[in-house]
Amino acid sequence: MVPTIKNRPLDRIPEKESNYLKIYALGSITFYKHFISPVNGDRCKMEPSCSTFGYQAYKKHGFFWGTLLTFDRLLHEGNEYRVSFVMSHKDSTGNIKLLTYDPVENNDFWLNDEN
Amino acid sequence: MSEMREVIDLTDEYYSLNFKSPKIAGALSAIVPGAGQLYLNRKRDATAAFILNGLFIWGIIAAIENDESAVAAILGVFEVGWYGGNIYSAVNGAHKHNRKLKDSYRRKFSIGLNLRVNNNYETIPTFNISYNF
């Protein structure tokens, strides 16, 4: 078999779900980021943070895949350092902490081929 | 000649890599939440998926038994997310595991033999050999 290099444009993923659901999800995350997260504190061990990841996932893939990606992110925090890069990050107080780099692209690279 | 032997050995090594099946991982997690993650040896993820799905299902059952249909509906919406995310997490984990294996194999191939492996995740690896003269 002759190997072929597949083209993977991300906009090929069909977005059939209602736009209202996507707007509702993005609004909820924005509300969380502005009003709840500052009180709750910065405790996410990953970069981007889970709420930012969720926002980017909904924006990029719509409601259905965005929901799956966001819940997946909330579940896979524990073991991610084994398969992704770990980076150092200086927070607003000057403390350096280690964060696992796990953007949306790290979780949807196989999605286009499946669809 | 020794380099040729090395190429053959490294090519054989590709087929002995411990790849995980995304379909098996997803199916296992669909049957028992967390089982697919356990198959991928991601024990923390497996525990999180099992406990969260278990708690939400338990909450839904308890709410239905107490005629709290609104609570059951709210918990149900979240449970759909946890259950779907659990399956996606297992499939995604298998793809990430396989990608990491292929990347480290490709790196080893390139460093050890000074060869360039073609960027192709989907099929068998191919490579170019270049001579400087």
- Distance from C-alpha of A79 to C-alpha of B58, rounded to nearest angstrom: 26
Asked if residue B133 is part of any domain, the answer here is: no
Query: Order of strands across the sheet with A86-90?
Result: A46-47, A96-101, A86-90
**Reported confidence tier of residue A6, pLDDT bands at 50, 70, 90:** very low
- Name the pLDDT band for B89 (thresholds 50, 70, 90): very high
- Number of domains composing chain B: 1
Is B89 within 8 Å of A69 when comparing Cβ atoms?
A: no
Of A3, A67, A83, the CB nearest to B120: A3
Whether residue B81 and residue A67 make contact (CB cut-off 8 A), yes or no, is: yes
Contacts of A74 in chain B (CB under 8 A): 85
Helix (H) / strand (E) element for B88: namely: helix B69-113
State chain A's mean pLDDT as an integer.
79
Segment A92-99 shows an average pLDDT of 80
pLDDT above 70: percentage of residues in chain B:
77
Q: Which long-range contacts (CB under 8 A, 24 or more apart) does B29-35 make?
A: B29/B86, B29/B87, B29/B89, B29/B90, B30/B87, B33/B82, B33/B83, B33/B86, B34/B86, B35/B90
CA–CA gap between residue A54 and residue A56 (Å, rounded)? 5
- Provide, as residue numbers in chain A, all residues whose Cβ is less than 8 Å from the Cβ of B19: none
**Residues A40, A48, A107, B108, Cα dihedral to 10°:** -130
The pLDDT tens digits of the residues spanning A29-42 come to 999 988 988 888 77
Residue where the block lists tokens 């403390």: A95
pLDDT score for A53: 93
Nearest CA in chain B to A108: B92
Residue B22 has what pLDDT? 96
Among the listed residues B16, B102, B22, B51, the one whose alpha carbon sits nearest the alpha carbon of residue A83 = B102
Q: Is the pLDDT of residue A27 over 50?
A: yes
Rounded to an integer, the average pLDDT of B35-64 is: 95
SS3 label, residue B116: strand
DSSP A32: I
* Chain A contact present for B122, CB below 8 A: yes
pLDDT tens digits for range B28-48: 999 999 999 999 999 999 999
Full domain range(s) for residue B102: 2-128
* Nearest residue on chain A to B126, alpha-carbon basis: A3
The pTM for the full model equals: 0.78
The residue of B20, B47, B89, B127 whose CB has the most chain A CBs within 10 angstroms, and thus the best one to mutate to test that interface, is B89
Higher pLDDT, A78 or A97: A97
Structural domain includes residue B78: yes
Mutate to test the interface with B, among A71, A74, A112 (most CBs of B within 10 A): A71
Flag whether the ipTM exceeds 0.90. no
pLDDT band at A9 (very low <50, low <70, confident <90, very high): very low
pLDDT at B18 over 50: yes
Nearest to A83 among B86, B96, B124 (CB): B96
A62 and A15 Cβ atoms separated by less than 8 Å: yes
Average the pLDDT over B13-39 and give the result: 92
- Please, what is the angle between helix B43-65 and helix B69-113, to 10°? 170
Is B101 a residue whose pLDDT tops 50? Answer: yes
Distance of CA A88 to the CA centre of its chain: 19
Q: Of the given ranges (A16-20, A51-55, A107-111, B74-78), which has the lowest mean pLDDT?
A: A16-20
Judge whether B83 and B33 are in contact, CB under 8 Å: yes
In angstroms, the CA B47 to CA A43 distance is 20
Residue carrying structure tokens 């078999």: A1
